[in-house]
Structure 1
Amino acid sequence: MTGASSGATRIGSTAPQALEFFAGIGLARLGLEEAGFHVAWSNDIDHAKCQMYRNQFGNNEQEHTLIEGDMGELHGSDLPHNISIAWGSSPCTDISLAGTRTGLNGKQSSAFWQYIRLLEEMGNNRPPVAVLENVAGLATSHSGEDIAAAVSAFNQLGYSVDALSIDARRFVPQSRPRLFLVGLTNPPEGSQANSPLRPDWLQQVFADTSLRMHRAVLPEPPEPLMAGFGMYAEEMSDDDSRWWPKGKLTAFLDSLSAVQSERVMKLKDNPFISYRTAYRRTRNGKPTWEVRADDISGCLRTARGGSSRQAVVRLGKGSTAVRWMTPKEYAALMGASHYNLNGLRTNQALFGFGDAVAVPVVEWLGEHYFMPALRGTLDKAKQQHELRSA
């Protein structure tokens, strides 16, 4: 377990204070800071991600502490006091009820429960807002038992819980749906009947009368983007070595289905340049490439293998060119265009961004949910919503 404490952050300690569990490369921090919070403390177990974190925020921060190591070795007494919000982007496998769920004594398989344990150990210092971010599949895994277990765990700590599904596509041209559980010790009295952020497949958990839930009144979020990846694609000259050579390009084109091939040929024949993203998949035991029909990136994933990494296809003016998506594009698609990529290995950067939360989603929640909750103005938002609807 190693710690770093040093340099002033962009937002001083007079702002509402935040804890950042499962911090990764710090994208939740970027979003919280944009919303007016000061992230005072962060933790992650992955050394490569912590390297990126320090590369971005510096090694000499005076108003922030980064703890690199297993959170199972931490205790509530190790955490700072006067915290307003705890953010946790738990690994998606950690909430599973499959097997015996050994829980608090485990390591990789129990990260969520370690998060709950630390909040419990904070006692009266527990923050009034606690958040879990996870994959959307948490809502339906094990027939809804997993999300119910997570909500129940927050309930036992005194939190009422709201559940939201937000796709990063509402802010950046990347399809990246994520689930957010927002726990409040002082939930609003007002309730929102309908919201695009609480789709039908989330209603099961709200209908569970054994759970303490609320539905905060929130403004309408931005509509999902229908295009825009082309504006994020890095421009490269035709002789850039990152474009695939002729043999690899031919293999790519030969793997396309008839529908995919027709799509590519139409775009190739256009008098203007356009970009698409593509994933490699296995169909009937054979590797094939699938090119998206729209100008939107597929969900960025951790680069553990070639099949998880997206390719960028440039089409138009009678030509086709293909290359791997770059770290700069990954950063931009996560709403972190200005992230410091200097000195990073390509796979390190791709893994860090592919395993993170999109910055503008966190910022939107911070501005429209977390801050109003702390100020006690979520019910005022309800009144304003009713006035606008009258």
Structure 2
Amino acid sequence: MPLPGQPTAAEFFAGIGLVRLGLEPAGFDVAWSNDIEPAKQAMYEAHFNDRGAHEYVLGDVAALRGTDLPAGLSLAWASFPCTDLSLAGWRRGLAGSHSSTFWEFTRILDELGQDRPPVVALENVVGLATSHGGDDLRAAISELNRLGYSADVLTLDARRFVPQSRPRLFIVGAQNPPSDSPAPSPLRPPWLALDPSLRTHRASLPTPPPLLVTGLSAAVERLSADDERWWTAPRADAFIGSLSPLQLERLTQLQAGKKLVYRTAYRRTRNGKPVWEVRPDDISGCLRTARGGSSKQAVVQAGRGSVRVRWMTPREYARLMGAGKYALDGLRNNQALFGFGDAVCVPVVRWLSENYLMPLARGEMSLEAAG
């Protein structure tokens, strides 16, 4: 149960609950969650084991009504599906069957009337900023404006906190927005230009940590050489054989090193032919699911004259999402990979919550005159 005066939050498209893991350390009580996928609900409930103190509503957001939410919410968070906005998808935008769930979320906010939460947070891929020439972002902000919110738009890469390249776009809607900050911020790059006719604000925020340049190797599980998860020699040879000359030279140099090093790899289609590409640095590529045309990520171990390859494990996915202690017992491998691949990086949510969402919800940020 929330403490007296404790801000409460609802998480839409909650998945396996990584947003909750970031909100709670900032002081939010996450009282209500919703998602459509039973496998994700199973992961969520097995990890949190709420014993009735939290409501997880399984089902399509289109079937929900404002009356289904608890009263007096301080924050509504929505990580609506990115399938129609991602570069890995078809770029159908907010009109696509998946990303159009945004409009169901705002419909529910509309139904809440005067009981709308004072703060709303939206998360999606950075492709939302350019989808349909920027029209989708304008439409999203305009809809928040209609509901009484000013909007702040930020970009934040998980790589500032974990060794995974995962840039994301965040929109913070505020009924009582803070005064604009005159200082530039790396969270608002020059290409993120907003329509001046919309009601927007730019909160003053601390500079986030710098982008990491290493750390994948520390997150990799150490498997013995005879672990069955390593690919067979013929499969590893086929992997190496698909590499371009530049990629092969890079891998050969790593193989000749005296220490074991780790890299991630993706399978791409080049000129109609599947090939593998290995990242050059000690950073993971963006974790994804098999949806939207993307593929699972492999781990390459090279050095001391050898090369081994395998799929990334669920525990590695969890660590790279900042949820290294997440409960994984009894899960199917693909269930875990889908759950984490669709989620939001925990320390990103925590940083945004501690530095922005919680102060805003508590009314501790300087306020501008309403209007």
- Whether these two folds match at TM > 0.5 is yes
1:83 counterpart (73, 92, 111): 73
Give matches, 1:220-231, under 5 Å: 220-231=207-218
Could you tell me how far apart the structure 2 residues matched to 1:97 and 1:76 are?
30
Matched, 1:74 2:64: yes
Unpaired stretches in structure 2, ≥5 consecutive residues: none
Residue type at the aligned position of 2:47: Q
Amino acid aligned to 1:26: G
Distance of 2:264 and 2:316 partners within structure 1: 11
Distance 1:201 1:36, change over 3 A: same
Matching residue of 1:131: 121
Matches of 1:321 and 1:154 in 2, distance apart?
A: 50
Residues 55-85 of structure 1: CA deviation (Å, up to 9, x unaligned)? 1112x53321000001211111111111110
Distance 2:145 2:44 in 1: 32
Residue 265 of structure 2 corresponds to residue 274 of structure 1: no
User: Can you list the C-alpha shifts for 1:105-137, whole angstroms capped at 9, x where unaligned?
Assistant: xx7463100100111111111111001101100
Alignment counterpart, residue 108 of structure 2, candidates 118, 134, 137: 118
* C-alpha contact (below 8 Å) 1:303/1:350 kept by paired residues: no
Q: Which residue of 1 aligns with 2:51?
A: 61
Question: What is the CA deviation profile of residues 33-71 of structure 1, one whole-angstrom value per residue up to 9, with x for unaligned ones?
Answer: 12111100000011111111111112x533210000012
Equivalent pair of 2:157/2:166 in contact (CA under 8 Å)? yes
Match of 1:349 in 2: 336
Preserved CA contact (<8 Å) 2:15 2:44: yes
Q: Match of 1:32?
A: 23
SS in 1 for 2:191: helix
2:297 aligned to which of 304, 310, 315: 310
Relative to structure 1, the CA distance from residue 317 to residue 93 in structure 2 (aligned partners, 3 Å threshold; closer, same or farther) is closer
2:16 counterpart SS class: coil
Q: Deviations over 1:354-380 (max 9, x none)?
A: 011000000001000011112333339
TM-score normalised according to structure 2 size: 0.93
Match of 2:192, SS state, is: helix
Check if 1:165 corresponds to 2:152: no
Kindly provide the CA deviation profile for residues 91-117 of structure 1, in whole angstroms up to 9, marking residues without a partner as x.
124689969949xxxx74631001001
Alpha-carbon distance in 2 for matches of 1:358, 1:99: 23
Q: Deviations over 1:306-332 (max 9, x none)?
A: 961011000111111111000000000
State the Cα RMSD in Å.
2.1
Shift of 1:192: 3.7
Residue identity matched to 1:147:
L
Q: Which amino acid aligns with 1:139?
A: A
In structure 1, runs of 5+ residues without a counterpart are 1-7, 381-390
The 2-side partners of 1:284 and 1:121 are apart by 50
2:40 to 30, 43, 49: 49
Query: Does the 8 Å contact 1:217/1:379 carry over to 2?
Result: no
- Are 1:22 and 2:13 matched, yes or no? yes
CA shift at 1:13, angstroms? Answer: 6.6
1:1-390 to structure 2, matched below 5 A, reads 12=3, 14-58=5-49, 60-93=50-83, 101=95, 108=98, 110-203=100-193, 205=194, 208-304=195-291, 308-379=295-366
Which secondary structure does the structure 1 equivalent of 2:114 belong to? helix
Post-superposition offset of 1:172? 0.2
The Cα offsets for residues 320-349 of structure 1, whole Å up to 9 and x where unpaired, read as: 111100000000000000111111100011
TM (normalized to structure 1)?
Answer: 0.89
1:387 maps to none
Q: Secondary structure at the match of 1:131?
A: strand
Change (3 A) 1:181 1:100: closer
Residues 34 and 363, structure 1, Cα contact 8 Å, conserved in 2? yes
- The amino acid across from 1:156 in the alignment is R
Cα gap change, 1:190 to 1:234, in 2 (>3 Å)? same
Q: SS where residue 270 of structure 1 aligns?
A: coil
Q: Which moved more, 1:291-300 or 1:77-86?
A: 77-86
Count of residues in Structure 1 that have an aligned counterpart in Structure 2: 363
Give per-residue Cα distances to partners, 1:144-188, cap 9 Å, x unaligned.
Answer: 000000000100010000000000000000000100000000011
Local SS of the residue matching 1:367: helix
Deviates more, 1:186-195 or 1:82-91: 186-195
CA deviation after TM superposition for structure 1 residue 290, in Å = 0.5
Match of 1:385 in 2: none
| TM-aligned CA distance change 1:226 to 1:128, over 3 Å | same
Higher fraction of helix: 1
| 1:375/1:279 CA distance change after superposition, 3 Å | same
Whole-angstrom distance in 1 between the partners of 2:328 and 2:94: 41
- TM-superposed CA distance for 1:304, in Å, is 4.6
